[in-house]
Each structure stands twice: as structure tokens, then as C-alpha cells.
């Protein structure tokens, strides 16, 4: 029996996986066969400015099935996991069967495990966190390990933004991130009520797909997207974490040529995909796998 034929057409589907692994195409195939609305679960595809650079669905894809939560957030907005949960809630309550697809593991965790109501981080602590992360990430990690070892053992210490988030929560509230997670309310969509999948590919094949896709992004105008954002560019904004954006900004500034910017962006994307694969392997170990060659 094929993967799609084995799915219950009435039950929500979650499709997670690394960038360029083929998640969106699988979601479209499921929608073609069974219907449903494809809902974005990628923290960068929410931004209006990054249609090409974030690999959002193109016009042909949008014509194949209804889509939601793509490209609806301005570049300057700090969009959170809580914002996404609030935005997806109506789609879980009414309308076609949801097919939730993306590479942001925290979105899926919050959706299926619940999200604790951590207070907003004050601006002065966010500014201090940005500065410390940029100047001395090792000191931030050391402080976190000393003051909040439970959270330090839980998060990915190789991910600077996760380290900063845990440091900010501890600094702002006096309570560790993991302790807040223990107070989590019930999830919006428990795993028992949906059909989760992790899309996986051979590592070499995935690296080749990443390189090919980024070249296509450049050919289609990704550099023009970066030039349009450049007057507002602020590396501390969440939207500026788009993989490839810092490298193309460096090219726009005249610091590196386009060939070098492309090479660095491809390497950054491949490293990001490696972190995603590790995260899904560790955190979603019980999710069924869909293996693509």
C-alpha cells in the first residue's frame, strides 16, 4: 500500500523534515489525492519578504490546493511560536482537513505537546541577549549551564538562538525555560488525534538538492528580494535568520562576490539541514518516517 493510500483522509496530517527534503511536494500530493488545506509550519515562510529565499509555494503550487499562513507577516515583526499557534487554531476547528507542513520543530512540538505561557521578554534583556550572543556565546552557554542546568541539558547548545532564548527567559523571569515547559497547558492537537510524518532523504542527495535549489533561487530573483529588504536590514530580527540572507546582504554591501555568497549560503543551508535532521531524530523519534531517495 502506498503512503498516501494508507492515510486517513479525515484525520489531520503533520509533515516535518529538513529543508529541501520534499515536504511541500508530499503535502501537495496528499492534497491532490485526498483534499485538505496545506498550512505552513516554517518560521521563515511566514514572512512576506522571503517568497523565494524561504522556498514558499509558487503560484502553480498555490493553484493545486488551498494554502494558509504563508507570507502574511511583515519583515520587521517578531513572530513567535505563540503567534503561530493562535493563527493556526481556527484552521484546526473549522474547514478542510489540515495538512501541516514545515521544518520548524518548535511549531510542531507546541502544537502537539502544548506551549507554556512564558511572559514577553523585555526589550532591554533582548538587547543584552543579542549583544552577548554575538560577542561571547560561550559565556552565555556557561552561565546557562551554571544557573539552569536542566534547560542547558535539554536545548541544542549548538543553536545560538535556542541558547539565547533560554538565557533570556531565565534572566527575565528567574525561572528556567524547562521549568516553564513543565507548566505547559494541554496541546491543541495531540499526536493521537493526527497522523505525523518525518520526511527523510539520503544525506548526499539532500545536500545536492540544497545546492540546486539555491542556484534556482538566485536565477529566479532571490537577490532582488534581499535588495528590497536591505534598507531595513536588521540582523537581530527573526526574519533576518533566513538561510542565505546574511550572505546575500554581504554581497549587496560589496563585501563578497555573488559566487562566494552563493557558496557560503549553500554551506549554511546544509549545516542548518543537519541540525534539523538531528533535532527531528532526537525529539520526534516516535514519528513514522517517509524515506525519499
Dihedral angle sign, alpha carbons of residues 190, 191, 194, 198: positive
Beta-bridge partner residues of 38: 67, 99
Region 250-255: mean pLDDT is 97
Q: Place 236 in a pLDDT band, splitting at 50, 70 and 90.
A: confident
Domain ranges (residues) in the chain? 10-116+187-202+277-292, 123-181, 204-276
As a whole number of angstroms, the distance between CA 264 and CA 76 comes to: 25
What does the pLDDT look like over 85-131, one tens digit per residue?
999 999 999 899 999 999 999 999 999 999 887 888 888 999 999 99
pLDDT(213) > 80: yes
E strands present in 249-293: 289-292
Q: Place 204 in a pLDDT band, splitting at 50, 70 and 90.
A: very high
Cell of 233: 536590514
What does the pLDDT look like over 27-52, one tens digit per residue?
999 999 999 999 999 999 999 999 99
The topology under which CATH files domain 10-116+187-202+277-292 is Rossmann fold (3.40.50)
Residue appearing with cell numbers 537577490: 223
DSSP structure class, residue 289: E
pLDDT(1) > 60: no
pTM: 0.83
Beta-bridge partner residues of 37: 98
As a whole number of angstroms, the distance between CA 123 and CA 130 comes to: 10
CATH class of the domain comprising 123-181: mainly alpha
Residue appearing with cell numbers 532523504: 201
pLDDT(230) > 60: yes
* pLDDT computed for residue 2 by the predictor: 86
Q: Place 234 in a pLDDT band, splitting at 50, 70 and 90.
A: very high
* pLDDT computed for residue 293 by the predictor: 60
Question: Given the DSSP bridges, would you call strands 195-201 and 98-102 parallel, antiparallel or unpaired?
Answer: unpaired
The topology under which CATH files domain 204-276 is Helix Hairpins (1.10.287)
Question: Given the DSSP bridges, would you call strands 289-292 and 37-40 parallel, antiparallel or unpaired?
Answer: unpaired
Contact of 78 with 96, CB cutoff 8 Å? no
What does the pLDDT look like over 117-174, one tens digit per residue?
788 888 899 999 999 998 999 999 999 999 999 999 988 898 898 899 999 999 999 9
User: Rounded to 5 degrees, what angle do the CA atoms 112, 118, 123 make?
Assistant: 130
DSSP structure class, residue 269: H
Rounded to the nearest 5 percent, the helix, strand and coil shares of the chain are 55, 10, 35
Amino acid at each position: 500500500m502506498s503512503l498516501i493510500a494508507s492515510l486517513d483522509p479525515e484525520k489531520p496530517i503533520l509533515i516535518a523534515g529538513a529543508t529541501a527534503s520534499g515536504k511541500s511536494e508530499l503535502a501537495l500530493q496528499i492534497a491532490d489525492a485526498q483534499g485538505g488545506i496545506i498550512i505552513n509550519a516554517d518560521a521563515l515562510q511566514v514572512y512576506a519578504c522571503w517568497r523565494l529565499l524561504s522556498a514558499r509555494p509558487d503560484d502553480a503550487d498555490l493553484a493545486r490546493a488551498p494554502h494558509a499562513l504563508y507570507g502574511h507577516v511583515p519583515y520587521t515583526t517578531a513572530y513567535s511560536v505563540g503567534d503561530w499557534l493562535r493563527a493556526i487554531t481556527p484552521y484546526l476547528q473549522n474547514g478542510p482537513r489540515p495538512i501541516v507542513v514545515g521544518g520548524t520543530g518548535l511549531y510542531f512540538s507546541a502544537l502537539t505537546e502544548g506551549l507554556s505561557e512564558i511572559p514577553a521578554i523585555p526589550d532591554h534583556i533582548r538587547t543584552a541577549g543579542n549583544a552577548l550572543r554575538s560577542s561571547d556565546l560561550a559565556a552565555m552557554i556557561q552561565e546557562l549551564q551554571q544557573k539552569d542546568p536542566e534547560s542547558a541539558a535539554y536545548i541544542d547548545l549548538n543553536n545560538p538562538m535556542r541558547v539565547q532564548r533560554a538565557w533570556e527567559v531565565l534572566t527575565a523571569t528567574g525561572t528556567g525555560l524547562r521549568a516553564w515547559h513543565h507548566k505547559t497547558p494541554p496541546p491543541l492537537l495531540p499526536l493521537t488525534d493526527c497522523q505525523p510524518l518525518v520526511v527523510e532523504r539520503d544525506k548526499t542527495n539532500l545536500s545536492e538538492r540544497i545546492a540546486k535549489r539555491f542556484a534556482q533561487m538566485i536565477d529566479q530573483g532571490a537577490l532582488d528580494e534581499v535588495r528590497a529588504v536591505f534598507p531595513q536590514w536588521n540582523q537581530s530580527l527573526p526574519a533576518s535568520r533566513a538561510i542565505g540572507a546574511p550572505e546575500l546582504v554581504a554581497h549587496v554591501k560589496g563585501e563578497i562576490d555573488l559566487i562566494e555568497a552563493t557558496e557560503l549560503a549553500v554551506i549554511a543551508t546544509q549545516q542548518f539541514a543537519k541540525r534539523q535532521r538531528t533535532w527531528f531524530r532526537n525529539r520526534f523519534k516516535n514519528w513514522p518516517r517517509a524515506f525519499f531517495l
